[in-house]
Amino acid sequence: MSSSTPIRYSKSDYIETDTGNKVAKSCHIKGPSNIVLGGKTIIQPGVMIRGDLRRAGGSGPAVVIAVGKYCVMGENSVIRPPCKTYKGVFSYYPMKIGDYVSIGSNSIVEAASIGNGVEIGKNCIIGPLTIIKDNARIADNSIVGPGTIIPSLGEWGGSPARPTVTLPESTPELIEAKAKAYYARFQPE
Amino acid sequence: MATIKDAFSIGSKCTIVHDADLRGDITIGSGSVLHPRCSIVAYSGPIVIGSNCIIEETVIIVNRTKGVMRIGDNNHFQVGCRIESPQIGHSNIFNPRCRTSPLITIGDHCSIGAGCIVLPNPFPPPFSAPPPGEEEEKEGATPMQEEPAAAAAEEGDEADRDPSSPRPPSLPPKDPPLSTPAPLPAPTTMHIPSHSTLFLSSTASSPSDIRTRVWSGEGSGQGKAFHLKHLEYLREMVPRGNKLRMFV
């Protein structure tokens, strides 16, 4: 398959914003005013994003989920912020997702922060309050326990997720190119 | 196929988001919170859920048996679970995407790990070899199909149907071999005792290959307090971001 083959989608299935974000209409996005998409991000059908679980005790606008640019959220994944009790106060904490992140289909992501260039596989479960540093990779079907910190350029897999290989140093450039190419190929019919 | 008749009995102070899918004879205790896109389907028999339960998004609680499915108080069903157990106790935590078979009953204070498929036998029984006297017909007999682990939640139903069609004890050699499989051992319900922690080992061969540990109960006070605070938060914040479904 040539890397410039377009991936066609039906124009009526997606909403395109000014900044080039393409959000499927069948997504379940709760609290859309609390969600920031960086631009040229693709959110595939059936994704559920919980922007309504905001920080306790705050009023006024808050960013619950901040997503970077050129990200892809796979079909039917669930993106929700993590929660914990800190100094006796229970709250949900904002979730930050970096640029060029791709989240595989059917994954459940409750991470506290995801760096740039992270690839999360299909059917993964990312536990609450995990921190995934830049350019890491989570293999398909892995279950990352709560509070895990996944270092840069590491590929983790299995359940509970454990480090498997170290990714090559060219990974940041490769992932950035891949994400931009994917967005360029994602064209309406 | 009979249509499901809805009969809801929802307790006070329940927070149920409008796109929660409730079907059938359902009773929900007071103070419970149902997140968007959860499904509670009392397909054949009623479902009774206790008070102060948290049911997160894309959870499926389904009762396909004729009996009552009883779920206790203070349970936390996290994202993506599929629950078919007829009897669940109090204060359990069901981690994301776990599945419990209809042949499993669960005690109190258990923690079912993420991605676990809880079956009465971790490995469903393979087909049984026919008795030695009928070796000649063996090549035509259909062996019992082994269920893949992913369809294991259906295993309880399959096992229910098969014992009712056993092979006759003696077979004249001239008859064509029967296609009904040999009878499975009768399915037994397994009980997960209280304070169990079920988790997938790192060398698990399949999601139903589960290890168990017994929790000492240490930290249960904090767990209880955490659950109460979580509920308080949800009761305050969920109505702000979501339209609620009102029950008279």
- Report pLDDT digits (tens) over A146-156: 999 999 999 99
Q: Are strands B210-214 and B196-200 parallel, antiparallel or unpaired?
A: antiparallel
> How large is the average pLDDT for residues B154-178?
45
Ordered domains of chain B (ranges, CATH):
7-119+189-241 (2.160.10.10)
Q: Indicate the residue of A91, A108, A160 with minimum beta-carbon distance to B79.
A: A108
Alpha-carbon distance of B13 to A91, in angstroms, equals 20
- Interface A-B, measured as beta-carbon pairs within 8 A, has a size of 68
For residue A74, name the pLDDT band (cuts at 50, 70, 90).
very high
For residue B123, name the pLDDT band (cuts at 50, 70, 90).
low
Measured in residues, chain B has a length of 248
> How large is the average pLDDT for residues B45-66?
95
For residue B179, name the pLDDT band (cuts at 50, 70, 90).
low
- With an 8 Å Cβ cutoff, are A83 and B230 in contact? yes
Alpha-carbon distance of B124 to B248, in angstroms, equals 45
Whether the per-residue pLDDT at B133 is higher than 60: the answer is no
Name residues 26-85 of chain B within 8 A of A (Cβ): 36-37, 57-58, 79-80
Query: In this structure, are residues A39 and A21 in contact, taking their beta carbons and an 8 Å threshold?
Result: yes
Number of separate domains in chain A: 1
- Pick from A142, A165, A169: nearest CA to A154: A165
Nearest chain A Cα distance for residue B45, angstroms: 29
Q: Indicate the residue of B80, B114, B232 with minimum beta-carbon distance to A78.
A: B80
- pLDDT value for B165: 39
- The residues, any chain, with a CB within 8 Å of residue A81's CB and separated by 6 or more, are A50, A53, A64, A65, A92, A93, A94, A95, A110
Whether the per-residue pLDDT at B135 is higher than 60: the answer is no
Alpha-carbon distance of A163 to A68, in angstroms, equals 25
Chain B partners within 8 Å of A147 (Cβ): none
> How large is the average pLDDT for residues B51-70?
95
* φ, ψ for residue B18, nearest 5 deg: -65, -25
Whether the per-residue pLDDT at A17 is higher than 70: the answer is yes
Residue with tokens 């499915």: B69
Q: What pLDDT digit, counting tens, does each position of B97-114 carry?
A: 999 999 999 999 999 999
Q: What pLDDT digit, counting tens, does each position of B231-245 carry?
A: 999 999 999 989 999
Q: Indicate the residue of B37, B115, B236 with minimum beta-carbon distance to A143.
A: B115
- The residues, any chain, with a CB within 8 Å of residue B97's CB and separated by 6 or more, are A108, A125, B79, B80, B81, B114, B115
Q: Per the domain annotation, does A1 fall within a domain?
A: no
Nearest chain B Cα distance for residue A53, angstroms: 7
For residue B122, name the pLDDT band (cuts at 50, 70, 90).
low
- Pick from B101, B108, B45, B121: nearest CA to B74: B108
Chain A partners within 8 Å of B237 (Cβ): 52-54, 56, 92
Query: In this structure, are residues A118 and A135 in contact, taking their beta carbons and an 8 Å threshold?
Result: yes
Q: What percent of chain B has pLDDT over 70?
A: 72
CA distances from A90 to A57, B92, B181, B228 (A): 10, 19, 55, 10
Nearest chain B Cα distance for residue A4, angstroms: 35
- pLDDT value for A61: 85
Average pLDDT score, chain B? 79
Alpha-carbon distance of B57 to B49, in angstroms, equals 16
Q: Per the domain annotation, does A174 fall within a domain?
A: yes
Q: What pLDDT digit, counting tens, does each position of B5-43 carry?
A: 899 999 999 999 999 999 999 999 999 999 999 999 999
Alpha-carbon distance of B73 to B75, in angstroms, equals 6
For residue B143, name the pLDDT band (cuts at 50, 70, 90).
very low
> How large is the average pLDDT for residues A154-173?
94
Residue with tokens 């790192």: B202
Alpha-carbon distance of B94 to B34, in angstroms, equals 15
What single string gives the DSSP state of each residue in A50-63? Answer: E-S---TT--S---
Q: Per the domain annotation, does A181 fall within a domain?
A: yes
> How large is the average pLDDT for residues A59-67?
90
CATH code of A136's domain: 2.160.10.10
User: Cis link prior to B36 (omega < 30° from 0)?
Assistant: no
* B244–A contact, CB cutoff 8 A: no
Q: Indicate the residue of B97, B204, B240 with minimum beta-carbon distance to A108.
A: B97
For residue A79, name the pLDDT band (cuts at 50, 70, 90).
very high
* B202–A contact, CB cutoff 8 A: yes
Q: What pLDDT digit, counting tens, does each position of A87-128 carry?
A: 989 999 999 999 999 999 999 999 999 999 999 999 999 999
Choose, out of A77, A78, A89, the residue to mutate when testing the contact with B (most B CBs < 10 Å): A78
Helix, coil or strand: residue A185: helix
More confident residue, B133 or B232: B232
Q: Per the domain annotation, does A2 fall within a domain?
A: no
Q: Indicate the residue of B37, B115, B232 with minimum beta-carbon distance to A48.
A: B37
Q: What is the 3-state secondary structure (H, E, C) of chain B?
A: CCCCCCEEEECCCCEEECCCEEECEEEECCCCEECCCCEEECCCCCEEECCCCEECCCCEEECCCCCCEEECCCCEECCCCEECCCEECCCCEECCCCEECCCEEECCCCEECCCCEECCCCCCCCCCCCCHHHHHHCCCCCCCCCCCHHHHHHHHHHHHHHHHCCCCCCCCCCCCCCCCCCCCCCCCCEEECCCEEEEECCCCCCCCCEEEEECCCCCHHHHHHHHHHHHHHHHHHHHHHCCECCCC
Choose, out of A159, A162, A164, the residue to mutate when testing the contact with B (most B CBs < 10 Å): A159
* Max intra-chain CA distance, chain B: 74
Q: Per the domain annotation, does A11 fall within a domain?
A: yes
Choose, out of B54, B55, B97, B208, the residue to mutate when testing the contact with A (most A CBs < 10 Å): B97
> How large is the average pLDDT for residues A60-69?
92
The model's pTM: 0.83
**pLDDT-wise least confident of A170-179, B77-86, B116-125:** B116-125
* φ, ψ for residue B163, nearest 5 deg: -60, -20
Whether the per-residue pLDDT at B160 is higher than 80: the answer is no
For residue B177, name the pLDDT band (cuts at 50, 70, 90).
low
Whether the per-residue pLDDT at B157 is higher than 50: the answer is no
Q: ipTM score of the complex?
A: 0.92
Q: Per the domain annotation, does A67 fall within a domain?
A: yes
Q: What pLDDT digit, counting tens, does each position of B182-214 carry?
A: 565 666 788 888 998 998 877 777 787 788 888
Whether the per-residue pLDDT at B136 is higher than 70: the answer is no
- pLDDT value for A3: 64
Q: Per the domain annotation, does A107 fall within a domain?
A: yes
Nearest chain B Cα distance for residue A180, angstroms: 31
Classify the C-alpha dihedral A82-B88-B60-A125 as positive or negative: positive
- With an 8 Å Cβ cutoff, are A92 and B36 in contact? no
| Domain that residue A54 falls in | 7-188
